[in-house]
Structure 1
């Protein structure tokens, strides 16, 4: 993806995210759930479960998977793929830059 095809958005401070707990933000008109991992990395996935719209940020997660709190669909945080079904969460590139979380959204 070239720079002209994407926009980088500073979403929050890394300190605003608790380790292995989700938090939802609106990023360029997208509902995005952010998850901070123990190693300091951050994942950005769609905030609503594609099954029935469950709040993904409220789900339990570990270093790899977040579980929808409504019906226990699990989603790989690195890919957005469902680990126990045929569903898919959107995902975006996220990184930490000088203590701030930056998410890249296609333009």
Structure 2
């Protein structure tokens, strides 16, 4: 299992819920579990406005973003039509009840994705004299 990083046990992820995996670089990864005990992993960022998918509602093989209710497919990370856009997905392996993520992807995948900045001040430039 050298190319895979142990994350948790399947039962550590709530049914129809998620857990966040912090990375040393880049945004967190959300690991989801549905009611069939399938496990999926996506960047914890909705492609619409950057909402935290880990706080969304899981149903079937989808998650509803908590901000604007966009439905994101857990298998591919893409928004359900008519919405458009995708969030990066991460490879998952489940063996003997343990959940593993691909170590190379954790270290290098989607490092350029930016966390959203909330509030009206996000567009204001501050100059320091």
The bucket for the TM-score relative to the shorter chain is: 0.7 to 0.9
Alignment match of 2:55 (pick from 58, 76, 94)? 58
Residue aligned with 1:72, SS: coil
Which has a greater percent of strand? 1
Structure 1 spans left out of the alignment, 5+ residues: 1-5
Which residue is 1:94 aligned to? 92
**Larger gyration radius, structure 1 or structure 2:** 2
Q: Which has the higher contact order (CA 8 A, sep 6+)?
A: 1
- Contact 1:11/1:27 (8 A) holds in 2: no
Structure 2 spans left out of the alignment, 5+ residues: 109-129
Distance verdict in 2 for CA 1:28–1:79, change over 3 Å: farther
TM-score by length of 1: 0.83
The two structures, once aligned, show a CA RMSD in angstroms of 1.9
Alignment match of 1:29 (pick from 9, 25, 28)? 25
Alpha-carbon separation, structure 2, partners of 1:34 and 1:98: 17
The size of the alignment, in residue pairs, is 102
Residue aligned with 1:57, SS: helix
Deviations 1:23-80 (A, max 9, x none): 2112463511111122222000110112222110110111121011001111100010
Q: How does 1:1-107 map to 2 (within 5 A)?
A: 7-27=3-23, 29-30=25-26, 31-84=28-81, 85-104=83-102, 105-106=104-105
